[in-house]
């Protein structure tokens, strides 16, 4: 019974904090004029509710392995998505940086120390 009560308290506090964070992010992004403020605040709310539920289940001792594996898979998927997005978006920028460096390398330096 004490674990159940503590889990309910964790769930209640987590949901209250998720609601506060959702409203704060929504107000901030709308006032800043961001186009995707609602999506960002909704995603944050869903993430916080998910973490809160996982914490409550972990405290209860229900499905510990499932919670750990689910978070490992979700975190791995987020990291893979971020790496792919960074690779696709960063390709042209990196290409431009490399071309600029190679162009600088071919020109002699003004102080005559091109051999260094």
DSSP string, 29-72: HHHHT-TTHHHHHHHHHHHHHHHHHHHHHHHHTSSHHHHHHHHH
Residue 19: what pLDDT?
97
CB 54, CB 66: distance < 8 Å: no
Tens-place pLDDT, residues 17-72: 999 999 999 999 999 998 899 999 999 999 999 889 988 988 888 877 887 888 89
């Amino acid at each position: 019974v004490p674990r159940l009560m503590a889990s309910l308290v964790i769930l209640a506090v987590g949901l209250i904090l998720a609601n506060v964070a959702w409203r704060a992010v929504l107000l901030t992004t709308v006032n800043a004029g961001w186009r995707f403020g609602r999506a960002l605040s909704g995603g944050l709310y869903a993430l916080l509710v998910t973490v809160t539920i996982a914490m409550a289940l972990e405290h209860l001792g229900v499905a510990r392995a499932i919670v750990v594996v689910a978070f490992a898979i979700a975190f791995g998927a987020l990291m893979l998505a971020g790496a792919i997005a960074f690779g696709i978006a960063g390709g042209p920028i990196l290409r431009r940086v490399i071309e600029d460096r190679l162009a600088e390398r071919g020109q002699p330096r003004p102080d005559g120390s091109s051999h260094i």
